Structure formats: C-alpha cells, structure tokens
Amino acid sequence: MKFAVIVFPGSNCDLDMYHAIKDELGEEVDYVWHDQTDLSDYDGILLPGGFAYGDYLRCGAISRFSNVMSEVIKAAEAGKPVLGVCNGFQVLTEAGLLPGALLRNKNLKFMCRTVDLKIVNNETLFTSKYVKDEVIQIPIAHGEGNYYCDEETLASLKENNQIVFTYASENPNGSMEDIAGIINEKGNVLGMMPHPERAANDIMGGSDGLALFKSIVKQWRESHVSHA
C-alpha cells in the first residue's frame, strides 16, 4: 500500500507521519507538496498536523484552496482512505469533507500532553484493530481542538455511528459530547485531534496509535490484494 503525506507550508508533523508509515508500519510513503495536482498513484491520503499557511484567517481556511485539495476530494469520492490529524482534521472540515468545525480550546491555551481516548466505533477501516470501548493513550497538541457542530449534525453523527473517538477521563478542550474524532457517512474519511503517529513505538512513550495505521492496511489488503 502506498501513502501520500500532504505537506502544506506550515505542516510540522509530516516527518512524524512519514516515520510512522515507513519505519513502524513498513509501507510505501511519499511527501506530496500542496501544489501537486495528481494523487492517482496513492492508495491512502494523510493530512498531518501543523499550521497550514500559518493558520492565518482561520485554521485550514486557506489550505482548503490548495491545488492538492481538489485531488484529496477526488480521492475521498473514489473511496480511498483519507486521514486528517489535528490541523489535517481542521482542513477536512474547512474543505467540507467532514461536518462541523474546530473552535479554540475552552481554556484558550495550547495544550500538549497524552490523553485517554475511547474507541467508540471499531467498525471502521481505521479502527478495526481496536476493541470497542477500549481506552488508549494518544498525545494531543493543539490550540483549536474544540469540536463543534449544530444539533442536527450531532444527531446525524450519532444516528450514523460517525463518532469514532471520544476523550475518556477528561475532556481537554471542551469539545461537544467529548468528541475527539469523527468519520464521514461513507466511512473513508476520518478526522481526529489526537496524534496516532506520535504513538507508534514504545520508545516514543507508547504505541497505541500504530493499530490505526495497521487497520487501514488490513482493510486495503483485504479489498485489493485478496481479489488481485
């Protein structure tokens, strides 16, 4: 399986994501600059954390107009797995690939620490290697991770089982319903504030995030290699 790590001016977790895929997962991966106009060679698209275009105006608001985003949307519509972490999650909401928005943390401070994360939905291509209601430890690092949506959207997320992760034991940013990650209705676009790529090896302080990437590869191999 071949992954693309999208790099915007200001991305700063692209190296972490690349390392997790290449060295910990053992899969092919390339850095793909924001002005590229072809993602057809890639099986999975990863939008890392950082400060895309400096996050001026609003997080993700400028990056959504990058050339590569039309290709990310095309890949999502084709059913390819698309993962946005932290700033990547913000970009996905701004691009309309996921509903809702990420607001300033309730304490208006940037936070960087490891939190408990509950697996609410393990029946996705991103979470099949986890157990439902399992609690894992994943780092966060954000100033605008307070997930918000209107009541109608929240009801739809619940009805369609689109809430994938919630914060357990504490809600660090004030997000609605403790939401830490959601998936699109089709099930192939996931946005999450915690950083699984920073929990891919025990030497990093934990490896609970690696199962997310293994889940993606497992689904891809089952749907592609086994039918080749």
- For the question of whether the overall pTM of this predicted structure is more than 0.85, the answer is yes
Residue-level pLDDT at 227 = 57
Q: State the amino acid at position 45 in one-letter form.
A: I
Instruction: Give CA–CA dist 202/64, Å, rounded.
Output: 34
> Mean of the per-residue pLDDT values for the chain?
96
3-class secondary structure, 43: coil
Cα distances (Å, whole numbers) of residue 108 to 73, 93, 105: 31, 20, 5
In the chain, what are the domains?
2-226 (3.40.50.880)
The catalytic residue positions are 86, 195, 197
Instruction: Give CA–CA dist 3/82, Å, rounded.
Output: 10
Token pair 């490891």 in the structure block, residue:
114
* Torsions phi, psi for 113 (to 5 deg): -165, 175
Give tens-digit pLDDT for 6-36: 999 999 999 999 999 999 999 999 999 999 9
Task: Please report the sign of the dihedral spanned by the C-alpha atoms of residue 67, residue 96, residue 198, residue 162.
Answer: negative
The Cβ-side half-sphere exposure at 29, using a 13 Å CA radius, reads 23
Residue-level pLDDT at 196 = 98
3-class secondary structure, 146: strand
Give tens-digit pLDDT for 94-139: 999 999 999 999 999 999 999 999 999 999 999 999 999 999 999 9
Our measurement of the distance from residue 160's CA atom to the centroid of its chain's CA atoms, rounded to an integer in Å, reads 19
Give tens-digit pLDDT for 50-76: 999 988 888 889 998 999 999 999 999
Q: Which ranges in 145-228 belong to alpha helices (H)?
A: 151-159, 210-223
The Cβ-side half-sphere exposure at 129, using a 13 Å CA radius, reads 15
Strands 101-103 and 111-119, sheet pairing: unpaired
Q: State the amino acid at position 46 in one-letter form.
A: L
The Cβ-side half-sphere exposure at 175, using a 13 Å CA radius, reads 27
